[in-house]
Amino acid sequence: MPSDASAGAGGALELRRFAPADAHAVRKLHDLARREDRAGSGPARRAEDLDSIPATYIDDGGEFLVGVCDDRVVAIGALRHITDTVVEIMRVNVHPAFQRRGFAGLLLAGLEARARELGYQELRLDTAITQTAAQRLFNGAGFRDVGRGQFAGVEVVYFAKSLP
């Protein structure tokens, strides 16, 4: 399981598994991220999964990580089991006040490492066509663009990455 990862000035990001005590902070961060995406630039995913994170992600062969910096949950990300070999990366969010510190990349690397530990062979994810920073992050992490589509009325880009 990932632990400490340095991210420059202003504190390090500690990645750890979601705990029930994190539920309120996770929901708050998710809601803030949705407000930041208010122009409809991100797929409007229902958030009922955040009411049952252990059952939805962890108990079903996935994972849910929180990133803590300065004693605050400032990043979240999940792995959702698709098949015995494929997992989807979901809910990747970094608090706006903590962006541009490399935390999204650290979170993505932590999720990838956990997917390997769980025995997955392929990562999948999607993002809105307008989320160019996210697309750069995913391309830089070795993901390849595998198609385009629609989700909740938003054009999305689908990405995949094989795990060695």
- pLDDT tens, 92-150? 999 999 999 999 999 999 999 999 999 999 999 999 999 999 999 999 999 999 999 99
Q: What Å distances lie between residue 25 and 19, 34, 128, CA to CA?
A: 11, 14, 24
Whether residue 153 is contained in a domain is answered as: no
Q: Is 54 exposed, middle or buried (0-12, 13-18, 19+ CB in 10 A)?
A: middle
Percent of the chain with pLDDT strictly greater than 70: 88
Q: What pLDDT was estimated at residue 38?
A: 53
In terms of residue numbers, what domain contains 42? 4-124
List, as one string, the DSSP characters of 100-148.
SSSHHHHHHHHHHHHHHHTT--EEEEEEETT-HHHHHHHHHTT-EEEEE
Answer whether residue 142 is part of any domain.
Answer: no
Residue-wise pLDDT for 24-66, tens only, equals 999 999 999 887 765 444 445 568 899 999 999 999 999 999 9
Average pLDDT over every residue of 77-91? 97
Is residue 156 assigned to a domain? no
162 is a domain residue: no
> Total structural domains in the chain?
1
Question: Is residue 100 in a domain?
Answer: yes
| Mean pLDDT across the chain | 89
Tens of pLDDT, residue by residue over 151-162, are 888 899 999 999
82 confidence band (pLDDT: 50, 70, 90): very high
In a domain, 133, yes or no: no
73 pLDDT band, cuts 50/70/90, is: very high
Q: With respect to residue 35, please indicate whether it lies within any of the assigned structural domains.
A: yes
0.95 exceeded by pTM: no
Q: What is the pLDDT of residue 1?
A: 53
Q: Is residue 151 part of a domain?
A: no
Assign residue 74 the CATH number of its domain. 3.40.630.30
Distance CA 75, CA 65 (A): 8
